[in-house]
């Protein structure tokens, strides 16, 4: 299996390498790809040194799979070129997510939509991934009418520059700013640019991607996305209104038996999900499960996941695994 990782030196790209190694993904030829200025430099993978390739050098090698994490403009330009040589591109940017001709996939939720003809596959937004994994089994059982979500997102979702800004501020060092404002000891109610409707692009991603992944436009979603000075994962407060009533123990049972979810919901012993515990893990953690006493058929819960792993790298690799295991990659 010839595998290219585009953006191999970035924050998500480096986690992709880690996940590929941990999962022992069957790679016969590893092709790390970076910007032209980084091409020719060395990178380590599974104890071996590899030379970073340019885009065209990688295409010339005709990989069977290319995992992209290099930004939307790069994906729009280069993903079709990889696809033209028969490569399956799994793209972590927002470039293809709402393209009607491209599948948007969380393997545990909707991998069955994939066919051998899907050469460019979109990886959803990190915040959407962890939420829909929890919503799907509940929707199948009780039918969701409306979701109200507020996110508390790690600086790692922005990238290395944002992590450095936070660390600089904590150490009293002047440096480059990833955000318009100080992030340490702060909460910034803006992730991505503002749209004409007053919502940010991140908030609208959660609305539109949820409907597409779950294949149901009748689910109403509204979101508020906030950046906070943490690492380790994104947290979400989610309120769900169902068509039908539910039993709390049944809800817990459904989530416990859903692949990729770990229930951490024992308030008597102060057990609930936090980025501190999600850091470095592939699972989505759910807790603080309780009935919304202000409205019928409504539920509150708290979701946390490592945004660099399940929210990005791990989900991407899982899509590649699905393609391989189901004979879609020849």
Active site residues: 126, 234
Structure tokens at 166: 């936070």
Q: Answer yes or no: are the C-beta atoms of 215 and 142 closer than 8 Å.
A: no
Cα–Cα distances in angstroms (integers) from residue 55 to residues 8, 94, 297, in the given order: 12, 19, 51
Q: Answer yes or no: are the C-beta atoms of 132 and 208 closer than 8 Å.
A: no
- Alpha helices by DSSP H, 51-150: 55-60, 72-84, 107-110, 126-142
Crossing angle of helices 126-142 and 201-214, rounded to 10° = 40
Integer Cα distance of 282 and 278 in angstroms: 8
| H-helix or E-strand spanning residue 11 | helix 11-22
β-pairing, 261-263 vs 284-291, is parallel
Give rounded-to-5 percent helix, strand, coil for the chain. Answer: 35, 25, 40
Integer Cα distance of 307 and 154 in angstroms: 8
Q: Which residue has the tokens 């990005």?
A: 312
End-to-end CA distance of the chain: 9
């Amino acid at each position: 299996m010839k595998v290219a990782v585009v953006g191999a030196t970035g924050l998500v790209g480096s986690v992709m390498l880690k996940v590929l190694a941990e999962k022992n993904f069957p790679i016969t030829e590893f092709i790390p790809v970076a910007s032209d200025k980084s091409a020719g430099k060395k990178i380590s993978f599974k104890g071996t040194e590899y030379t970073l390739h340019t885009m065209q050098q990688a295409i010339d090698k005709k990989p069977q799979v290319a995992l992209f994490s290099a930004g939307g403009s790069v994906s729009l330009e280069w993903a079709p070129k990889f696809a033209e040589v028969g490569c399956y591109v799994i793209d972590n940017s927002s470039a293809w997510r709402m393209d009607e001709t491209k599948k948007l996939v969380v393997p545990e939720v909707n991998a069955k939509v994939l066919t051998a003809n899907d050469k460019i596959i979109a990886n959803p937004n990190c915040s959407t991934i962890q939420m829909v994994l929890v919503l799907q089994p509940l929707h199948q059982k009780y039918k969701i009418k409306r979701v109200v979500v507020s996110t508390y997102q790690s600086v790692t979702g922005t990238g290395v520059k944002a992590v450095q800004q936070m660390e600089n501020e904590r150490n009293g060092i002047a440096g480059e700013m990833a955000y318009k404002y100080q992030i340490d000891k702060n909460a910034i109610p803006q992730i991505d640019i503002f749209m004409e409707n007053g919502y940010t692009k991140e908030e609208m991603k959660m609305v539109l991607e949820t409907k597409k992944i779950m294949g149901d436009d009748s689910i109403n979603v509204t979101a508020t996305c906030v950046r906070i000075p943490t690492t380790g994962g994104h947290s979400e407060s989610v309120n769900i209104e169902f068509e039908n009533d539910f039993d709390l123990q049944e809800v817990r049972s459904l989530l416990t038996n859903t692949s990729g979810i770990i229930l951490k919901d024992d308030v008597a012993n102060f057990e609930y999900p936090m980025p501190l515990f999600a850091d470095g893990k592939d699972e989505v953690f759910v807790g603080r499960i309780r009935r919304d006493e202000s409205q019928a058929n409504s539920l509150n819960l708290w979701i946390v996941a490592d945004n660099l792993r399940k929210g990005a790298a791990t989900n991407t690799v899982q899509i590649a695994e699905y393609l391989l295991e189901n004979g879609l990659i020849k």
